[in-house]
Structure 1
Amino acid sequence: MPKPTCPKFAIILLTTIILSGVYFAVPRQARTETKCASQDYFEDHYDECSSLIKTTSKKLEDVRNQKNSINQQIQNYLSTLTVTDAQIADLKTKIQQVQAQLTEIEKNLNNRKGSLEEKTLIRNKIVRSFYQMGRANPVEILFAIEEGENSGQDFVMRDIFEDTVAEEVIKQIISLNMEIKSFESDKEEAGKLRADLEESQKTLLSLKADIDRKKAEAQNQYTELEKKSQSYEETIAKLSALQQSVLAAKSGSESGSVGDYEPPKAALPSPKFSPAFVAISYGAYTHYKGMSQYGAKGRAEDGKDYKDILKFYYNTGVKKVNDFPSKISVSGYGKLDFQYYLYGIAEMPSSWPSDALKAQAIAARTYAYAYAKSGKTICTTQACQVFSSSKAKNPPSAWKKAVDDTKSVVLDGSVTAYYSATTGGYIESIGWDVKGSWPNGAYEKRAGSPWFYKAWYTKSYNDSSTCGRSDPYLTEEEMADILNAIVVWEKGNSTDRGKVTPFTTSCWGGSPYSKDKMKDRAGDLGTAYSDISSVDVEIGNNGQTIYAKFSTDQGNVSIKGDTFKTVFNLRAPGYISIKDRLYEVVKK
């Protein structure tokens, strides 16, 4: 009697060979996917190739996480004014990188598709054959035993072997079914991710267009402000000596650095009356050029090194000068050793981070190097750089190390190494100095600059005289007086404009219009204000307050930012002032 198990045994054995040799022949990682696509390679490196099967879902999960992170960044940028071209370019690169990863995954999935189709056909044939063959029944076993002792044993042993092999085949078939399910799920996820990334790219293009529009607006605003500046300078030239003196004292136009010691921090006090109005400046005593010292401190605290800091503020790298001059001519001291001179630069507290100190040392050296090359004598005040002979003789160790570690290093190119303490978070020719959005993400704020957000009512940062004012607040009557002064300033004659000076004559002198007279004259010219219900400002992407807006008893009024600052400083009582072109007015 023929042995009924032979065909089945052959099929099972063939199944085992095929499935073990074909099943996992799918490339999974960039470094092995090409090799594993070869069945011969796969059979010789089964463990290496088969282990790659499990990584596609993880790769897709990683791609999904990266895509979500990109979308979150885009959403954050959509709600802020402080997006730069570099940030847009970075996002574009990230999207391209994720798309490249997804393309590799899709190639891998396509390879898997062909392999799975082949294995599925084999599986289906085997399953049909397997169930058509069935198992040996007891009668077959009995006849096999009757044929002889060895035949019976062979039959039973083969049957046991077939059972074992069949179990292994079933396991591989189950695994194949799981892979098919995983493949379908991965393919669907890859398709969704591709669509999501295309949508993210569209959103990014829209954001880029919006940024370009804002840049164009900012350029137009800048051009307009340049024209206004010329007109403003002509107007200032026509002001009385008193008015020019008031503006010079209140504007904070001269630049100021931190010095060896940080200025004290003072919280905005609570007003003693209500409603109260206060003008708050973002930054002070700055030319808005070059390095922000508090910004450098914030960047160093954020992990940036001195080269990164200088690259941001000056848009250039550094270089070492081999023929660096050994001496420099210093006002009041004659020729000094260059390194000794730098030890005496008193522009930044030595307690600040080392990378901020190194950035300061290179900026100071570059500034002085320009004087030395031209043969000029450098002054020792903030008009140039503050020099302290006592500090030079005994420099703090941290500052000395910063100077020594950067010896002969200057900024590359023809760069004027300007710097100031606090710009308000915006620097000309660079833009917003922030991590995230302005104002909370400004590096100056993160570094704790006391000038970043400050209401000024003392004579200057180094003179605490107050002219009888104990805080920076204005009453509603005083704020309305400012608005009336603006009406007189813009619509009145030269005599009227000459009367726009502080009514606190004990400090300033002169013969200004009283508050009542100013209101009457504003009424004669068309509009007199008494009540103010709310105030707001519009800040442009050029780092300036474009408009100050008030809701009043005469309706809503919008005043150009530079006009409001000028008249506010001319008229506000005492030493209350706006120090920066970037400011806000708050009602409390």
Structure 2
Amino acid sequence: MRWRYLLMVVALLSFLAGITVVRAETSCDGKNDQDLIDCLSIQINELNDSLEKSRAATAPLEVEINKLSIRIKSIQGQINTATIKLKQTEAGIKERSEKVSTQYLVLAVKIRGMYIRIRSEPLWVSLLSSTSMGEARRELAYRQESNDNDKQLIVSLIQEIGQLEEDKKSLEKQKEQLAKLQTELDKQNTFFQGEVKKAKAYQTDLTGKIAALTELQARIKAEKEGTFSTTVGDVPLADDPASRPDYNPGFSPAFASFSFGAPHFKGMSQYGAYGRAKSGQNAEEILKAYYGGIEIKKDYDPGKQISVQGYGRMDIETYTKRIYEVPNSWGDSGGFEALKAQAIAARSYALAWTNEGSGGAICTDQGCQVYKNSNKGGKWEEAVNATRGWVLVKDGKIIKPWYASTSGGYQESYDALSHRKDGSSYQTPSFWDTKNGRGGWTSSAYEKIGESPWFYKAWYKSRGGDSCGRSHPWLTAEQMADILNAWVVRYKSGKEDRLVPLEGCGGGNPYSISELREKAKGLGGGYERVIGVSVSYSDGGYTSNVHFDTDKGGVDIKGSEFKEAFNIRAPGWVSLKSGLFNIEKK
């Protein structure tokens, strides 16, 4: 039966060798932006296909292994039974050998006695000494019977000894056969288990590569989907006229999707803090607005040492003076209290990150806080000195105060003590960051007062400035209808194949507008143009619904679903960065 398994293993190994060649055909070297995303998608699909084929090829072998395991257990049981029987036979042979030895000794004694008797009293003497003929006959008969019994015993003993020798040889032969069977069984089991193990190892390797590619793809997609984190000090201001609602794209009707804010929307808004400072709030009021029921401890040890990646250890005050998160110019334009609030937040963040100096080193980019190895000076250093030793605490524990450039007017709650390992938890408040709550959005939003260029923006460039050949984010009525058809296909068929942007960066074999329309038509869509649009907002700070008037009538889409479909299909880097958004028409 082993030839069947060998054929399966050969087929499996041939398959593995084959898909290695296929995997090598696609290379993403030298590709950038959307081309790289599409190329990575192809690679991931190829690896997933290889993984599924490998699993499919391995499955029959695993079934056979299971069958073999059952057979092995059965045969092993029979071997064990045979071994027990052999041991019983061996014990019987030993017992018989001991019995034969005893019989041999008895026979030897009898033969010796007979020999002595014959020598000491010959038969003729016994006959002559008999008193009668009858007695003589009885003596003769006795001796004859005794001789016959002894002869029979000798013959029987010789036969038993011969049989014992044969049984011993047979026993040794059976032992050798059982040992060979056991060795062969173990060999087959080890062989097939090894082949399955190799296949599993290959699958594990594929899974790891898929995960690595998926992670890389996610980082690139984050550029478009708005999952990155950034601060004022991280990038230059991006006040692009083409991203404003008053931009004229040169055609009508025209539609553009505007995001409120961009990064993670949690903790302190830096532009919001600036707007609050310009509105008369001091640093403590600003911090308590964003972080809720915290306390400001004002006597923390300024000499506390922390570790900074690439720069070793330094005291917390020196570190804070080298944070480049907000511009010095704010201090001269009514925003000095915002600088102070930022200094307190930055100091607290570093202490929380490093476990007050006893943990790891804090990074130096926007993943932690933007640090440069020289004092920023100016109004920033004044703000650091003015808040020397001030940190944010809750129940005596330093919180990790998140912050970002612009939230779009709504702050989301988060756990500011989640970094601790003692189970502590503290949820910051969620609220509309305006002078008078939901009703003041957007007119009295503090970020608007702070003049954030990201408060209300239509995005069409990557963070690196690539626009994929576009000069603005505005779409035609047909292009917006194409987004709706992408939504239909995405959410009614559950598939995203070929749902990639048509224009600009190319790659990925996208549906043409007409192809996607036909595909959506079979799912209840098939829109040709958008006529009008309106949006609804939730009190929870996100766009809850988008209503479109189209050539086929009205259609309502959940805000989250539209955002996903838009980011999948919108041309180039045109994208929505926030779940709180609006769609303009002109």
Is the pair's TM-score, using the shorter chain for normalization, greater than 0.5?
yes
Structure 2 residue aligned with 1:86: none
| 1:310-321 to 2 correspondences below 5 Å | 310-315=287-292, 316-321=294-299
Alignment partner, residue 385 of structure 1:
369
Q: Give the equivalent residue in structure 2 for 1:489.
A: 490
TM superposition shift of 1:376: 1.6
Structure-1 residue corresponding to 2:579: 581
Q: Is the CA contact (8 Å cut-off) linking 1:240 and 1:498 kept in structure 2?
A: no
Out of 537, 540, 543, which is 1:539 matched to? 537
Give the letter aligned to residue 338 of structure 2. Answer: A
* Structure 2 counterpart of 1:544, one-letter code: Y
What amino acid is the match of 2:316?
Answer: F
Give CA-to-partner distance per residue, 1:120-178, whole Å, 9 cap, x none: xxxxxxxxxxxxxxxxxxxxxxxxxxxxxxxxxxxxxxxxxxxxxxxxxxxxxxxxxxx
> Share of identical aligned residues, percent?
47
Q: CA offsets, 1:322-367, max 9 Å, x none?
A: 4455321000111123222111100000111210000000000000
Q: Is the 8 A contact 1:307 1:317 kept in 2?
A: no
For the pair 1:408 / 2:389, whether they are aligned, the reply is: yes
Specify which of 300, 305, 329 is matched with residue 277 of structure 2. 300
Q: Secondary structure in 1 aligned to 2:228?
A: coil
Q: Aligned with 1:309: secondary structure?
A: helix
Structure 2 vs 1, CA of residues 293 and 507 (structure 1 numbering), >3 Å: closer, same or farther?
A: same
Q: Is the 8 A contact 1:483 1:529 kept in 2?
A: yes
Q: Deviations over 1:363-385 (max 9, x none)?
A: 00000111142422100010000
**TM-score under structure 2 normalisation?**
0.56
Whether 1:441 and 2:444 are equivalent positions in the alignment is: yes
Contact 1:534–1:551 (CA<8 Å) still a contact in 2?
yes
Could you say which residue in structure 1 is the equivalent of 2:401?
Answer: 417
Question: Which residue is 1:478 aligned to?
Answer: 479
What pairs up with 1:284-433 in 2 under 5 angstroms? 284=262, 286-315=263-292, 316-352=294-330, 353-370=335-352, 371-373=354-356, 374-390=358-374, 392=375, 395-413=376-394, 414=397, 415-428=399-412, 429-433=429-433
The one-letter amino acid of 2:286's match is: I
Q: Deviations over 1:424-470 (max 9, x none)?
A: 0000132100013100110001110000000000112xx21110110
- Report SS of the residue matched to 1:356: helix
Counterpart Cα distance in 2 of 1:241 and 1:335: 32
1:253 partnered with 2:227: yes
> 1:265 pairs with 234, 239, 245, which one?
239
Pair 1:274–1:340, CA change in 2 (3 A)? same
SS at match of 1:454: coil
CA distance in 2, matches of 1:240, 1:362: 38
Q: Which moved more, 1:356-365 or 1:532-541?
A: 532-541
User: Partners of 1:261 and 1:473 in 2: how far apart?
Assistant: 24
Change (3 A) 1:322 1:456: closer
Runs of 4+ aligned structure 1 residues displaced above 3 Å come to 239-247, 321-325
Amino acid at match of 2:308: V
Question: Retained in 1: the 8 A contact 2:303–2:317?
Answer: no
SS of the aligned residue for 1:287 comes to coil
1:209-251 CA-to-partner distances (Å, cap 9, x unmatched) read xxxxxxxxxxxxxxxxxxxxxxxxxxxx9x9889856642211
Partner of 2:500: 501
SS of the equivalent of 1:389 reads coil
Letter matched to residue 282 of structure 1:
F
| Stretches of structure 2 lacking an aligned partner (at least 5 in a row) | 1-210, 413-428
User: What does residue 14 of structure 2 align with?
Assistant: none
1:547 Cα offset (Å): 0.7
Task: Name the larger-Rg structure.
Answer: 2
- 3-state DSSP of counterpart to 2:337: helix
CA pair 241-421 structure 1, distance change in 2 beyond 3 A: closer
Deviation, 1:262, is: 5.5
Report the RMSD for the aligned CA atoms in angstroms. Answer: 2.1
Q: For residues 246 and 357 of structure 1, what CA distance do their matches in structure 2 show?
A: 32
Q: Distance in 2 between matches of 1:244 and 1:508?
A: 18
Change (3 A) 1:264 1:553: closer
TM-score, normalised to structure 1, is 0.56
Match of 2:99 in 1: none
Counterpart of 1:419, as a letter, is Y
2:369 maps to a residue whose letter is Q
Distance 1:582 1:503, change over 3 A: same
Secondary structure of residue in 1 paired with 2:328: coil
- Distance apart, 1:491 and its partner CA: 1.5
